[in-house]
Structure 1
C-alpha cells in the first residue's frame, strides 16, 4: 500500500470515528432530555445550563463540519440528519426548560 493510500485510509478512519462520536453524543443528549421530560422537577438551573452548553458545543461541531472531498453520499446524508437532530433536540430542550 502506498504512502498516500495509507494516509487517506487513516484520514477516513479518523473522519468516521469523529462522526460516530458526534452521533453518540446526540444519542446521550436525547436520553438526558427524555429523562427530563418525564420528571418536571429535574430541570434545575444547573442542569439547564449544562444541557445548553452541550447543545451549543454539539451545534457548533455539527454545523461547522467541512466534509472531506472523499465523503460518501451516506456520510453527507448523515451530517444533514445530525443537523436536523440537533435542531430538534434544541427545540425539545426549550420545551423542558422552565
Structure 2
C-alpha cells in the first residue's frame, strides 16, 4: 500500500493520521509525508514517526519523509537522514 500525507501541517494531527491509518496498512506499506520541516511541530512529528516501533525504514528527503511500515519494523529498522546517507555514500565511493 501507499499513503501520501500533505496539507495539515500540525504535529498532533499528523501523528493522529498515522495512528488511525496504521491498522489499515499492508505489511511494508510506504508512507510519504510532505513538508516535514514546515515547523518545529512537524519536525517533532517526523522524528516520532521515524522512530516508531513499526517503522522499518525512514528516509529523510529534506522536504519530504518516506516511511516503510512493517509489523516487525523494530527488528530490522534503518534510518537515513541527509548526513547519514551522504556519509554512507561517501564511504562506499571511497572503497571503489
TM superposition score normalised by structure 1: 0.33
Comparing both chains, which one has the higher relative contact order based on Cα–Cα distances under 8 Å and sequence gaps of 6 or more? 1
More helix per residue: 1
**Larger C-alpha radius of gyration, 1 or 2?**
1
